[in-house]
Amino acid sequence: MARSARTARTALAAGVAVGALTLGACAPITTELPYAPSDGTRVDFDDPQVRGLNLLVIATEEGGDGNLLGALANNSGEDVEFTLTASGAAPVTVAVPAEETVYLGTDGEETLLSPVATIPGGNLEATLEVAGQSEPFYLPVFDGTLPEYADYLP
């Protein structure tokens, strides 16, 4: 009797292992999906030549200035202008030359969003526009609590 129980457990374990391998083979390869690899938001358009990457705001308080961080990529053959509009703030327009990426809020050059209409830890409803296309998204707001963002406070 003990031998048949051991055989049954072995068969069950083998069945679970085969089932896990089968289900794993059916799962999509998530590393092939576009995603924001950090705390910011990725904004994709119908035209894959233009996009916003890792967009976020660093601010000390609601109602104050916020430093907009991230990148705007233009892989097209023409210069474009991106316009970011966030709830309660003045629009921010950034020119991006053809075949270039502009990094926001780095290298000592701040791109200010003012005023920031939510507390750090919240999300702003925002829209990014370029070349006649418009995409709504949520723009996360951080403060200097995380050491990697402390140097970017406005």
Q: In this structure, are residues 66 and 92 in contact, taking their beta carbons and an 8 Å threshold?
A: no
Q: What is the DSSP letter of 124?
A: E
Q: Encoding tokens for residue 89? A: 């703030």
pLDDT in 10s for each residue of the chain, 154 residues: 556 666 767 766 666 666 666 666 666 666 666 666 678 999 999 999 999 999 999 999 999 999 999 999 999 999 999 999 999 999 999 999 999 999 998 775 679 999 999 999 999 999 999 999 999 999 999 998 999 999 999 8
Instruction: Please list the residues that pair with 41 across neighbouring strands.
Output: 55
Record the pTM: 0.77
Q: In 3D, which of 146, 147, 144 has the Cα closest to residue 64?
A: 144
Q: In this structure, are residues 58 and 122 in contact, taking their beta carbons and an 8 Å threshold?
A: no
Question: Cα–Cα distance between 144 and 64 in angstroms, integer?
Answer: 14
